[in-house]
Amino acid sequence: MDASISWNFPPVTLFLNCMCTFVLNLSVFLVISRTSALTARVTGVVRDWSVVLLSAAIFADTKLTFINIVGYAIGILLINLVI
């Protein structure tokens, strides 16, 4: 990080980011404590897909090409075969 550039983090954005991270960690803890590690692994895969698709929907400059989607599908297939 360059010291000459002023970084501006709005407190509301920073707080919302912290709350989202806290809720995510709490939900992972609750899933593992009430179910099994396998369930946590499967929900992790679903969460990864959700992050990719929501990022593509929210950020207009993100382009999901056919090759990207095939790559994600292969990755998820391989993870599911390991489980």
Q: What is the pLDDT of residues 53-62, one digit of tens each?
A: 787 777 767 7
How many Å apart are CA 24 and CA 46, to the nearest integer? 13
Band the pLDDT of 6: cuts 50, 70, 90: confident
How many Å apart are CA 76 and CA 71, to the nearest integer? 9
pTM of the model as a whole: 0.49
Domain residue ranges of the chain, discontinuous segments joined by +: 11-82
Asked whether residue 1 carries a pLDDT value surpassing 60, the answer given is no
How many Å apart are CA 13 and CA 20, to the nearest integer? 11
How many Å apart are CA 31 and CA 44, to the nearest integer? 11
Band the pLDDT of 82: cuts 50, 70, 90: low
